Amino acid sequence: MSSDHWAAIGGFVKEAVRSFNPKTVSVARAYLAAASTFVHWTWQTAGLDIDAGVFTHHNVARFVNQVMSSKSDWYQYHTAQRLNRLVTHLTGRKTSQLDGPDSRAAHPYSQEELLEFRSSAVRRSNAARRGNARVLLGLGAGAGLSAAEIALAKVGDVRAEARDLQVNVRGRHPRLVPVRLEWQETLRLGLNDRTEDDWAFAGYRIPQYPARVIHQFHLDDRTESTPQPTRLRATWLVQLLQTGAPINVVLNLAGLAEAVSLSPYIKALPPTSPGDYRDTITGRVVRP
């Protein structure tokens, strides 16, 4: 958005969000980001005046469908949720509760998206942010750690073993996970020149919710795309299933107790034909 355009809409947007009385700075930033993009669209694209009349549930639905279609389901959901709350606050008009995306569904990243995240890590504005972006990719896409597990990891938990890296995972499901080859150098660069007792993902942690540090990283640097830990883990799990690793090994490495937990990731596997595995099925080829 140009400075001239922000000068035209900024005062209105900031007053709308201020009147909503957000409880924290990060919440205020999230509402400002959603409201500024929305109001700019209603003014420049839809041709509406800059006033409270733009805040309607119909306009929010149009905005999300037309402008946010390339974003993730969860991004669209949270944006619509924030904007509809502002509609209700500013106009008194209520809307029905939005249904969020299916939290059980797995949404692995494509190779193109992963390449963009690699590039984004290099473009970050300072060394600390570049390090965090690389650690997030290395531990998430490289070893399948959850957001909470990434937040608990120390630099010393990543160890060289023969030619590879392994992660000693902390938390409710402690385990040892080898890092995928394509993410090992990324992780090494992210941890470079830091002591073993340092947090692998740097930043202040709230004791009750340490994973908040990753969410805050996204809020503090909106100029670059930040991958979601759940989708990085899904990417890693789907790739692990594609290797043909035994289910008990997959469960152990993922920190899961029951095979049913793998159902969302199995559904995300690319389609295959039984004919492609005929030799394995008939026993001509025996996997180790």
Placement of tokens 């692995």 in the chain: 108
Average pLDDT, the chain: 86
Distance CA 129, CA 135 (A): 10
Answering whether pTM is above 0.75, one says no
Beta strand segments in 84-223, E: 158-161, 164-169, 175-178
Over range 232-258, report the average pLDDT.
Answer: 93
Angle made by CA atoms 282, 284, 285, in degrees to the nearest 5? 110
Tokens of 193: 């020149």
Question: Does the structure show a pLDDT above 60 at 98?
Answer: no
pLDDT value of position 103: 46
Separation between Cα atoms, residue 72 and residue 84, nearest integer Å: 18
